[in-house]
Structure 1
Amino acid sequence: MEILHQHQQSQNSKGSPKCDIWDGLVSKRFTGTRNIHTPPFMSIPGALAFSIYVDWFNAHGKSTRLASIGPIMLICLNLPPSERLKPENVYVAGIIPGPKEPTSLQLNYLLMPLIKELKELWQGYHFSPTSTGPSGSFICVAILTAIADVVAMRKLTGFISHSGNHFCNFCTIHKAQIEEIGPQFHYTRSYQNHKSTIAKWLRATPQQRQAIFSEYGVRYSILEDLPYWDATRMVNLDIMHNLILGILKDHATFKLCIPESKSKIYLRSHRKSNDTNSSDSDSMTSNSSLDKITLREARSLRRDAAKIINEPLPLLPNAHPSHGTSI
């Protein structure tokens, strides 16, 4: 518990770069109620904040055989970032069996035992006295955020898929206006409207529920049973899919013009060189003679990318400067 308190005391550093979930206002100001006079949750002695993570993967790796299974994991956010994802600190609350991913309704049933325990822990739990704690200890637990990729996130939190009309879980923009920029094209989702839509969905017939889901892009999730849950502010895309496989990958592929096959070869070679401590080699090689990228090839890729970046952008088809078309 000592490491939890040490990190909690070091969270309130003003002016520091935003590099942790505790640097965000939602986390800092979370009270678990709609009363602005309630003190922040993390100011309560014994308060523990967790994130919930759900995802699926093929149990057979990259084999053509498919068996999709998925873990349900809780990560303690009181721990320092360097400690949170260590295997010994991650709580695996359950494993979703395959061979197929569950539907949203099935996922609600699978999460039901966990949500029941979390509701009890939100009320607080007092541990019996021990030799190191004669008066016992008190804890209070809250799920501060749900983290997943886009597909799992929508199933977990009750939002429509990214191909739906109202695909965004933060605002109400319509798919037909996806290329429009500006507040006049969308409104931020509000807690009150979201809860109202969920209540309407619960009262509706199966046919009406589908219509509500298509119109508003939300439906009931068992996370809504948590008294403090706010799906409009407590849902996050995980960093691997958002940055590493998203923004950074697109930047490398389309801006630096590094072919995906080359980057995969480099990663395999770099991983092997780290394992064998053979960093003195003039080239980065793998077991196959074809899986090779030399330093000369790497420099050539960088030069080609620099040329493309410095060149003026081409005109769109059927466009001419005299027509006032620009990019």
Structure 2
Amino acid sequence: MSFSICNLPPEYRYRTSNLLCTGILPGPKEQTGDQVQRYLRPVISDLLRLWRDGIMIPTESCPQGRLVRVVLVAAVCDKPAAHKIGGFGAHTHGKPCSMCWITQTDIKENLAFPSRTNDRHRELGEQYRQLKTKGARHAFVQAHSTRYTQLSRLPYFDIVNQVVIDPMHNLFLGAYRVNC
């Protein structure tokens, strides 16, 4: 997991010296959606504190420090990671889209499908979080293609619209053609 600072000019924003690496998920197997949430918990706790309280950063023009607040603008990942981080069902689920409720069987149809909303996603995620057994959670994800995400702790973050598939995977590698 890494973060870029959006306030930097674009030519500096993605230089490796300006990227903040907050964690590397261990192998040898890929993490499940619930396991990813455990790794996100401390990161989201830090983001919450930086948003609410901020941090004093001394600068040359302000040696006593300036109050800096931090917000997460977007979570940009490939499709499997976006689904795990955003609390969506697996990208291979019967409802594979993180933006609407299209089903795998209707994916070739040129129809309008009800959009997912941040409020409903948070509501379903909270219902998932309240479930006590692995079996109940599995059945819930099968039915609703939603699970709890730590991102829901950020009150300003719109999970449905701010968890995005990166352009390389979505357009250049053709993921859009095979997934919603």
Task: Note whether the superposition's TM-score is higher than 0.5.
Answer: yes
Q: How many residues align?
A: 176
Aligned to 1:314: none
Q: CA–CA distance in 2 between the matches of 1:78 and 1:130?
A: 15
The AA in structure 2 aligned to 1:215 is A
The 5 Å alignment of 1:309-320 reads: none
TM-superposed deviation, 1:82: 2.3
Pick closer, same or farther for the CA change 1:81–1:134 going to 2, 3 Å.
closer
| Residue number among 214, 223, 227 corresponding to 2:142 in the alignment | 214
Task: Name 2:121's counterpart in structure 1.
Answer: 194
How far 1:245 moved relative to its partner?
Answer: 1.8
Q: Which among 83, 89, 93 is matched to residue 12 of structure 2?
A: 83
**Contact 2:59 2:66 (C-alpha < 8 Å) held by counterparts:** no
Q: Is the CA contact (8 Å cut-off) linking 1:166 and 1:215 kept in structure 2?
A: no
SS of 2:128's equivalent in the other structure is: helix
Secondary structure of the structure 2 residue equivalent to 1:214: helix
Tell me the residue number matched to 1:163.
92
Partner of 2:72: helix, strand, or coil?
strand
Whole-angstrom CA distance in 1 between matches of 2:97 and 2:60: 52
Is the alpha carbon distance of 1:82 and 1:117 closer, same or farther for their aligned partners in structure 2, counting shifts above 3 Å? same
| Other-structure match for 1:132 | 61
1:73-152 aligned at under 5 Å gives the runs 73-127=2-56, 132-134=61-63, 136-152=65-81
Provide the rounded CA distance (Å) in 1 between the counterparts of 2:24 and 2:116. Answer: 32
| Aligned CA distance change for structure 1 residues 187 and 125 (closer, same or farther; 3 Å) | same
The whole-number CA distance in structure 1 between the counterparts of 2:91 and 2:41 is 25
Q: Secondary structure at the match of 2:12?
A: helix
Q: Supply the distance in 2 between the matched residues of 1:83 and 1:131 (Cα, whole angstroms).
A: 20
CA distance in 1 between counterparts of 2:80 and 2:138 reads 18
Letter in 1 for 2:168: M
Q: Pick from 142, 155, 164: which aligns with 1:236?
A: 164
Q: Which among 97, 102, 105 is matched to residue 176 of structure 1? A: 105
Q: Stretches of 4+ moved more than 4 A in 1?
A: 128-131
- Output the CA distance in 2 between the equivalents of 1:174 and 1:231: 20
- Asked if 2 retains the 8 angstrom alpha-carbon contact of 1:165 and 1:215, the reply is no
Q: CA deviation at 1:212?
A: 1.7
- What is the CA-CA distance between 1:205 and the residue it aligns to? 3.4
Taking the aligned partners of 1:151 and 1:163, their CA distance within structure 2 comes to 9
Match of 1:69 in 2: none
Residues 124, 141 of structure 1: 8 Å contact kept: no
More strand by share: 1
Give the alignment's TM-score, normalised by structure 2: 0.87
Report the identity percentage: 33
Distance 2:60 2:13 in 1: 28
Q: Which runs of 5+ in 2 are unaligned?
A: none
Would you say the 8 A contact 1:198–1:220 is kept in 2? yes
